[in-house]
Amino acid sequence: SQQGEEDPQALSIQEGENATMNCSYKTSINNLQWYRQNSGRGLVHLILIRSNEREKHSGRLRVTLDTSKKSSSLLITASRAADTASYFCATGSILTGGGNKLTFGTGTQLKVEL
């Protein structure tokens, strides 16, 4: 079953603008991760934020996490055409035997136009 729901489902912006995507989830988590998927390809990990963290940065990416509201946001600053892709949040819970079970949301399709 889907754990996270991204909002919006689709987003179209101009190059140079910022893109904000939101994710809501339902159950307690150990961590939340964001992934990027180019059309027809595998997913690439972008950033991980743990349940005891509130904000994290990586290059042009900024992620926030509000565990009281069970929500997260991904901000991409100064977007580029190459950022065009689908973005997914994934909540991590502990697997028996060690490791992370990831449950993905439905994704946001971002289109950055020149």
Partner 1 sequence: SQTIHQWPATLVQPVGSPLSLECTVEGTSNPNLYWYRQAAGRGLQLLFYSVGIGQISSEVPQNLSASRPQDRQFILSSKKLLLSDSGFYLCAWSPKGLGTEAFFGQGTRLTVV
Interface positions with partner 1 (CB under 8 A): 2, 4, 30-31, 33, 35, 40-45, 48, 50, 88, 90, 92, 94-107
Smaller CB distance to partner 1: residue 2 or 14? 2
Torsion over CA: 30, 34, 39, 42 (sign): negative
Smaller CB distance to partner 1: residue 74 or 90? 90
Cβ neighbours of residue 13 closer than 8 Å, sequence gap 6 or more: 19, 79, 110, 111, 112, 113
Smaller CB distance to partner 1: residue 26 or 50? 50
Task: Report the nearest approach of partner 1 to the CB of residue 45 (Å).
Answer: 4
